[in-house]
Amino acid sequence: MTGVGWPLVDLASRLLDRDEREAVVGDLLEANETTWQALLNVFGLVLRRQALLWKQLSPWLAAFGVALPSSYLLTYVSLSVSCTYQRLVYHRFAPCWPTGHEGFLLLLCHIILLIAWSWAGGFVVGAVSRRTLWVSAAFCVFPCVFCLAAFPFEFLPKLCPFLFLLPAILGVRHRLRNPRISLNSAFLLAVTTTALMIFAWSNDALWILNWALIWPVWYLVATARKSGQEGNTEPWRMDHPTYTRMSQR
Amino acid sequence: MTHKRDVRDLPGRAKRERLDPMSNYYYNVFLIMLGEFEYLLITAAAGLGENAYGAAIREEIEATTDRRCSMGALYTTIDRLEAKGLLKTWMGEATPQRGGRAKRMVRVTSKGVHAAKEFYDAVMRVSHGASWAGHRAGNSS
């Protein structure tokens, strides 16, 4: 393998897991493959690995069940929040249905909801399918780009449709670094979000489809409870039922 | 052999439930039918013995079949066979020849040996009487 091509192969092999990268790159060096052959081999393996992941349900659920519909809805929520902000602060009127009558209180409510929905959506995408995150990320950006291309916004900055991305990225990051969320935190988030949605709905400031964004929030509660129950089944814990039964004998 | 017949008579779901790696050994062995490449890989690994690892198996397969063997096919098949319990792999030693990178060592399990033998026997049985089979060479036309 030539010195020029080696960094390329090394870079491509980073798409593989650590142990597999070690074995594959070592095999390629030992076989003295050309750069082109080595790249083909590495990309072939990466493609096969990705294809195998898509044989399961979770990547489809993450991409088409959460990322795409959530980002579509959240793009419009981002625009709606931006329009309301422009109207209230700069007195510029942009045609953004269903907003148009909200005051600062409802604007604050929308901002909190936008952050909560996005964060929970990101967390769920990270939880459901960590290894196909790049596809889910592409599905998240697609509605924003479509929105920018389809509708010209005279008064709004170009970054407005992307407002939800930062909390969503933080949600994914939190899931990757700390897989568990405490039941209390999840429950507080879910109850607060639901209460704010009811408040916005009762003030005619919520699109009916936005109710679909509530399920990732309650999914957090369900999984937090599940992980709490699993914690009790850890065999090394001294309060595990096995030890209790043994001590009773 | 009665076990084998019993399991094959079961409906699909029950048959899958019987494919538990911890359950009866014979149920598992007789229900696993290898693919052609899986058989090649197991045979190459068994032939290499203690020296079976990715590059060596690949070289053996390429030399024997005179066909290219991609890393993708090799490693995904190794994973699949390991999941079926036919192979066992672990990270081995690093050598200067490999740029200081470790090998993924492979060992065929006894279950893998049985599955390969089943495949071989099946191929021999189905090939019996075929014009290209070795023992019928004199009759081929």
Q: What is the pLDDT of residues B69-119, one digit of tens each?
A: 999 999 999 999 999 999 999 999 888 888 889 999 999 999 999 999 999
Q: From the CA of B139, how many Å to the nearest CA of chain A? A: 43
Do B102 and A22 make contact, defined as CB atoms within 8 angstroms?
yes
Give the separation between CA A34 and CA A19, rounded to whole angstroms: 22
Mutate to test the interface with A, among B58, B71, B79, B89 (most CBs of A within 10 A): B71
Option in A22, A27, A52 nearest B58 (CB): A27
Looking at the fold, whether A133 and A164 belong to one and the same domain comes out as yes
For residues A38 and A178, the model is more confident at A38
Confirm whether A41 is domain-assigned.
yes
Confirm whether A210 is domain-assigned.
yes
Looking at the fold, whether A99 and A15 belong to one and the same domain comes out as no
Name which of A56-60, A132-136, B53-57, B131-135 the model is least confident about.
Answer: B131-135
Confirm whether A161 is domain-assigned.
yes
B139 touching A (Cβ < 8 Å): no
Q: Which residues on neighbouring strands pair with residue B106, listed in sequence order?
A: B89
The answer, yes or no, to whether residue B137 has pLDDT greater than 50, is no
**Given A38, A53, A68, which residue is the final one in a domain?**
A53
Q: What is the pLDDT of residues A193-228, one digit of tens each?
A: 999 999 988 888 888 888 989 989 999 998 886 665
Looking at the fold, whether A127 and A193 belong to one and the same domain comes out as yes
Q: Which positions in chain B touch A44 (Cβ < 8 Å)?
A: 70-73
- Hunting for tokens 């470790």 — which residue is that? B102
Confirm whether A1 is domain-assigned.
no
Q: Which residue of B has its CA nearest to A41?
A: B71
Residues of chain A with pLDDT > 90: what percent? 28
Prediction ipTM score: 0.70
Option in B59, B70, B102 nearest A41 (CB): B70
Q: Which residue of B has its CA nearest to A43?
A: B72
The answer, yes or no, to whether residue A10 has pLDDT greater than 90, is no
Mean pLDDT over each residue of chain A, to the nearest integer: 82
Do B75 and A20 make contact, defined as CB atoms within 8 angstroms?
yes
Q: What is the pLDDT of residues A64-88, one digit of tens each?
A: 988 999 999 998 888 888 888 888 8
Looking at the fold, whether A109 and A25 belong to one and the same domain comes out as no
The mean pLDDT value for A44-68 works out to 90
**Given pLDDT bands bounded at 50, 70 and 90, which one contains residue B53?**
very high
Do A45 and B76 make contact, defined as CB atoms within 8 angstroms?
yes
Option in B55, B95, B103 nearest A31 (CB): B55
Give the highest mean pLDDT range of A83-97, B13-27, B48-62: B48-62
The answer, yes or no, to whether residue A247 has pLDDT greater than 80, is no
Residues of chain A with pLDDT > 70: what percent? 84
Option in A23, A45, A52 nearest B103 (CB): A23
Q: From the CA of A34, how many Å to the nearest CA of chain B? A: 14
Q: What is the pLDDT of residues A129-181, one digit of tens each?
A: 888 888 888 888 888 788 777 776 666 777 788 889 999 999 999 998 887 88
Residue B93, helix vs strand vs coil: strand
Confirm whether A225 is domain-assigned.
yes
Residue B10: its pLDDT value, please? 52
Looking at the fold, whether A154 and A66 belong to one and the same domain comes out as yes
Q: From the CA of A138, how many Å to the nearest CA of chain B? A: 25
Looking at the fold, whether A27 and A135 belong to one and the same domain comes out as no
For residues A37 and B99, the model is more confident at A37
User: CA-CA-CA-CA torsion for B23, B29, B30, B36, nearest 10 degrees?
Assistant: 140
Do B101 and A29 make contact, defined as CB atoms within 8 angstroms?
yes
From chain A residues 42-101, the ones with a CB under 8 A of any chain B CB are: 42, 44-45, 47-49, 52
Looking at the fold, whether A103 and A128 belong to one and the same domain comes out as yes
Burial class for A91, CB neighbours closer than 10 Å (0-12, 13-18, 19+):
exposed
For residues B135 and A117, the model is more confident at A117
The parent domain of residue A107 ranges over: 58-245
Residue B93: its pLDDT value, please? 83
Looking at the fold, whether A165 and A46 belong to one and the same domain comes out as no
Residue A80: its pLDDT value, please? 85
The answer, yes or no, to whether residue A244 has pLDDT greater than 60, is no
B80 touching A (Cβ < 8 Å): no
What is the pTM assigned to this prediction?
A: 0.67
For residues A112 and A227, the model is more confident at A112
For residues A177 and B26, the model is more confident at A177
Q: How many domains does chain A contain in total? A: 2
B96 touching A (Cβ < 8 Å): no
Give A95-148 as a DSSP string. --TT-SS--HHHHHHHHHHHHHHHHHHHHHHHHH-GGGHHHHHHHHHHHHHHHH
B35-40 — which CB contacts under 8 Å span 24+ positions?
B37/B73, B37/B77, B38/B77, B38/B80, B38/B81, B38/B86, B39/B116, B39/B119, B39/B120, B40/B64, B40/B65
The answer, yes or no, to whether residue B30 has pLDDT greater than 90, is no
Option in A19, A23, A52 nearest B76 (CB): A52
Looking at the fold, whether A27 and A106 belong to one and the same domain comes out as no
A28 touching B (Cβ < 8 Å): yes
Looking at the fold, whether A62 and A49 belong to one and the same domain comes out as no
Residue B8: its pLDDT value, please? 52
Confirm whether A43 is domain-assigned.
yes
Looking at the fold, whether A74 and A47 belong to one and the same domain comes out as no
Looking at the fold, whether A49 and A63 belong to one and the same domain comes out as no
Confirm whether A182 is domain-assigned.
yes
**Given pLDDT bands bounded at 50, 70 and 90, which one contains residue A90?**
confident
